[in-house]
């Protein structure tokens, strides 16, 4: 077989190993049999495996950890564990199948690199569109708005429906210019670079509250240093996506955001008191397709070396928590 096979006693002594496992750990088969599986694991992995073996039920379980080969190299492995019926005389109580996942990990790394490049390209395109909106569309709308105001002023002497229509048109043009500016600001928040993450989170939260009617509050611990630019942008995008999910799906009345420092990490948490959802069945996007928002948040966290966790309870709300390194 192309996978390693082992039988162990309760204390992890190897009673049987096949040739494939011996090749994985680069050790002669006769030196593998009779030794402890712990010799091929790091100290922290030995403790984790022992705990895992005790919790494994009759249906079996899987765990991933690196194997230390005899020549000092490491091999990422997936270990499938299944208890053995105590009917034999050799004392074996646990059966293991060990799978080399080196190629799987390499493929994951390539996929992560591709995702990172896609995110970078996406941000570049957002910046270009934001510039176009600000430099062209917003300027044009403002010019038309001023002309409409002048027209309304000239019609004021006549009064009547024409004046009222001109005033309404001027108001609509002003509102359109503000909306385009808001979209451009969300596409590429220049204030993030100049004013910092806390300022942008507060201003975006206030705008969200004004636009949706959902109460917004924020608690921030003072950071002694600024986070890296990519990290601040990733946290802001996760914040944006979380608020968008609240607006579309949560039916929430209140959102609480907390940014704080935890040792060498910064933690951003977004809590809402909405309807919640089952994590294995995220909210349905438009046209019946499942949205990519949760996946996008997770990938953005990973791209800056962080991790994202989502907790949701039906009828009790959702918590999005992301932790990223400070440097």
Q: In terms of domains, do 316 and 223 share one?
A: yes
Cα angle 150, 152, 155 (rounded to 5 degrees) comes to 115
CATH of the domain at 228: 3.30.565.10
Contact call for residues 81 and 54 (beta carbons, < 8 A): no
153: left (phi over 0), alpha (psi -120 to 50) or beta: alpha
Could you list the residue range(s) of the whole structural domain that residue 326 is in? Answer: 190-327
Here the tokens at position 134 are: 């600000």
Q: In terms of domains, do 164 and 202 share one?
A: no
Here the tokens at position 18 are: 């096949």
Q: In terms of domains, do 195 and 326 share one?
A: yes
Q: Is the pTM of this model over 0.75?
A: no
Q: In terms of domains, do 79 and 106 share one?
A: no
Q: Per the structure, how many domains does the chain have?
A: 3
List the pLDDT tens digit at each of the 327 positions of the chain.
789 999 988 888 999 999 999 999 999 999 999 999 999 999 889 888 888 877 777 667 889 999 999 999 999 999 998 888 765 556 668 899 999 999 998 998 888 888 888 888 888 888 888 888 888 888 888 888 888 888 888 877 776 788 788 888 888 988 898 888 888 888 888 888 888 899 999 999 999 999 999 999 999 887 777 888 889 999 999 999 999 999 999 999 999 999 999 888 999 999 999 998 877 666 655 444 444 588 889 988 988 889 999 999 888 899 999 999 987
Other C-beta atoms within 10 Å of 244: how many?
A: 14
Residue 241's contacts (CB-CB under 8 Å, 6 or more residues apart) are: 293, 296, 297
CATH of the domain at 44: 3.30.450.20
Here the tokens at position 183 are: 């979209």
DSSP assignment of 48-73: HHHHHHHH--TT-EEEEEEEE-TTS-
Q: In terms of domains, do 76 and 107 share one?
A: no
Q: In terms of domains, do 256 and 165 share one?
A: no
Q: In terms of domains, do 33 and 48 share one?
A: yes
Q: In terms of domains, do 308 and 285 share one?
A: yes
Give the DSSP letter of residue 294: H
Q: What is the pLDDT of residue 18?
A: 95
Q: In terms of domains, do 95 and 106 share one?
A: no
Q: In terms of domains, do 324 and 275 share one?
A: yes
Which among 75, 100, 125 is the end of a domain? 100
Q: In terms of domains, do 197 and 274 share one?
A: yes
Return the closest-CA partner of residue 32 out of 58, 1, 5, 66.
Answer: 5
Which among 100, 126, 145 is the end of a domain? 100
């Amino acid at each position: 077989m192309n996978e390693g096979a082992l039988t162990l006693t309760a204390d992890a002594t190897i009673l049987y190993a096949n040739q494939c496992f011996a090749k994985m750990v680069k050790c002669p088969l006769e030196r593998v049999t009779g030794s402890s599986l712990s010799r091929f694991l790091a100290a922290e992995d030995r403790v984790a495996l022992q705990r895992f073996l005790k919790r494994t039920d009759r249906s079996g379980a899987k765990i991933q950890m690196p194997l230390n080969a005899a020549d000092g190299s490491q091999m990422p492995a997936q270990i499938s564990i299944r208890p053995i019926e105590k009917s034999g005389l050799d004392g074996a109580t646990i059966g293991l199948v060990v799978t080399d996942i080196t190629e799987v990990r390499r493929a994951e790394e390539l996929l992560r690199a591709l995702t990172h490049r896609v995110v970078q390209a996406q941000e570049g395109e957002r910046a270009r569109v934001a510039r176009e909106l600000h430099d062209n569309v917003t300027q044009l709308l403002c010019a038309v708005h001023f002309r409409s105001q002048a027209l309304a002023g000239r019609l004021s002497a006549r009064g009547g429906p024409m004046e009222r229509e001109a005033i309404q048109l001027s108001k609509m043009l002003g509102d359109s210019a503000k909306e385009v500016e808001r979209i451009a600001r969300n596409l590429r928040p220049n204030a993030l670079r100049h004013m910092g993450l806390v300022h942008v989170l507060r201003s975006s939260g206030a705008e969200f509250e004004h636009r949706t009617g959902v109460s917004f509050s924020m608690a921030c611990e003072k950071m002694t240093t600024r986070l890296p630019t990519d990290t601040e942008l990733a946290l802001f995008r996760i914040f944006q996506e979380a608020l968008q999910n609240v607006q579309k799906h949560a039916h929430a009345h209140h959102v609480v955001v907390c940014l704080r420092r935890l040792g060498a990490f910064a933690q951003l948490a977004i809590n809402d008191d909405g309807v919640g959802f089952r994590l294995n069945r995220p909210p349905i996007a438009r046209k019946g397709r499942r949205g990519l928002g949760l996946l996008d948040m997770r990938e953005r966290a990973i791209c800056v070396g962080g991790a994202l966790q989502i907790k949701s309870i039906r009828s009790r709300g959702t918590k999005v928590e992301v932790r990223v390194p400070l440097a």
